[in-house]
C-alpha cells in the first residue's frame, strides 16, 4: 500500500519545481480528496466501534491520531497546491493583463479559468472606481515614446490619440509607452533599447 498523501505530495512537488504553471492534475486531486474521505471514515469507524478504548487504549488512540494526522496532511497539501496555483494566476493578471496566455489556459481547470476571470473583473471594477490603472509600471518611465518590434501579429489597435495601427510581425513602431505597455507584458511586442 502506498503512503498516505503520496499522490497529493507528488502534485505539490511538481508545482513547486515547475517554471511555468503545470497542467491541473484533476485525477490526483480527486484521489487526495477520496483519501481524506476514507481517512475520515476510518477515524469515525474506530471511534464508533470502540469509544471507550479511544480514551484508554494507547494503540487505538495512536490509530485515531495517525489517521487524523494523515487526513490533515492531505488537506494542507491540497490547500497549498490550490493556493499556489491561485497566486500564480493573480500574479499573471498583473504581469500580462486580462487575457490568459494560451499555454496557461490549457494548463488550468475550468474553475481556475473562472477564478482568473472573476479576479480580472474585481480588479477592473476597482481600477474603474478609483480611476487609476494599477497595472501600469509603478516607476515613472524615462521616455514617453518608445520603439517596439512586433513579435507576433496582433491585428489592429487603437492608440490613446484615436489612431488605428496594424501590428504585423517584425514591423517596428515608435509609440507612446502607455499604448503598448500591456502588449510588452503579453509578449506581443518587445521594447527596442538602443
Whether 137 is in a domain gets the answer: no
Report which of 20, 13, 10, 23 is spatially closest to residue 108, judged by C-alpha positions. 23
Number of independent structural domains in the chain: 2
Spatial separation of the C-alpha atoms in residues 167 and 189, rounded to whole Å: 9
Quote the domain boundaries for residue 162.
145-191
Q: Note the pLDDT of residue 1.
A: 47
Report which of 96, 94, 156 is spatially closest to residue 126, judged by C-alpha positions. 94
Whether 139 is in a domain gets the answer: no
**Mean local confidence (pLDDT), 16-26:** 90
Angle (CA) 178 89 104, round 5°: 90
Residues 96 and 158 occupy one common structural domain: no
Q: Note the pLDDT of residue 139.
A: 62
Spatial separation of the C-alpha atoms in residues 109 and 105, rounded to whole Å: 8
Residues 113 and 173 occupy one common structural domain: no
Report which of 170, 141, 174 is spatially closest to residue 159, judged by C-alpha positions. 174
Residues 110 and 49 occupy one common structural domain: yes
Residues 179 and 124 occupy one common structural domain: no
Is the pLDDT at 106 greater than 70? The verdict is yes
Q: Record the pTM.
A: 0.69
Whether 26 is in a domain gets the answer: yes
Residues 162 and 100 occupy one common structural domain: no
Which pLDDT band holds residue 138 (cuts at 50, 70, 90)?
low
Alpha-carbon separation of residue 188 from 101, 150, 179, 183 (angstroms): 11, 6, 13, 5
Q: For the chain, what percent of residues have pLDDT higher than 90?
A: 55
**Mean local confidence (pLDDT), 86-115:** 93
Answer whether 187's CB lies under 8 Å from 100's CB: no
Residues 32 and 116 occupy one common structural domain: yes
CB atoms within 10 A of CB 73: 16
**Mean local confidence (pLDDT), 78-100:** 93
Residues 85 and 181 occupy one common structural domain: no
CB atoms within 10 A of CB 13: 12
Higher per-residue pLDDT: 5 or 44? 44
Which pLDDT band holds residue 140 (cuts at 50, 70, 90)?
low
4-18, 110-124, 157-171: range with highest mean pLDDT:
110-124
Whether 80 is in a domain gets the answer: yes
Whether 104 is in a domain gets the answer: yes
Residues 79 and 165 occupy one common structural domain: no
Is the pLDDT at 38 greater than 90? The verdict is yes
Amino acid at each position: 500500500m502506498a503512503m498516505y498523501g503520496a499522490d497529493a505530495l507528488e502534485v505539490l512537488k511538481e508545482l513547486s519545481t515547475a517554471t511555468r504553471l503545470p497542467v491541473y492534475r484533476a485525477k490526483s486531486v480527486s484521489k487526495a480528496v477520496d483519501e481524506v474521505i476514507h481517512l475520515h471514515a476510518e477515524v469515525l469507524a474506530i471511534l464508533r466501534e470502540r469509544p471507550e478504548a479511544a480514551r484508554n487504549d494507547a494503540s487505538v488512540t495512536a490509530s485515531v491520531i495517525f489517521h487524523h494526522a494523515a487526513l490533515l496532511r492531505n488537506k494542507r497539501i491540497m490547500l497549498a497546491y490550490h493556493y499556489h496555483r491561485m497566486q500564480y494566476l493573480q500574479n499573471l493578471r498583473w504581469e500580462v493583463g486580462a487575457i490568459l496566455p494560451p499555454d496557461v489556459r490549457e494548463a488550468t481547470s475550468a474553475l481556475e479559468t473562472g477564478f482568473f476571470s472573476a479576479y480580472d473583473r474585481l480588479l477592473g471594477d476597482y481600477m474603474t472606481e478609483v480611476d487609476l490603472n494599477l497595472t501600469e509600471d509603478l516607476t515613472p518611465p524615462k521616455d514617453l515614446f518608445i520603439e517596439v518590434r512586433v513579435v507576433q501579429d496582433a491585428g489592429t489597435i487603437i492608440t490613446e490619440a484615436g489612431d488605428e495601427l496594424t501590428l504585423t510581425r517584425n514591423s517596428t513602431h515608435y509609440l507612446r509607452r502607455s499604448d503598448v505597455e500591456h502588449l510588452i507584458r503579453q509578449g506581443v511586442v518587445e521594447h527596442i533599447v538602443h
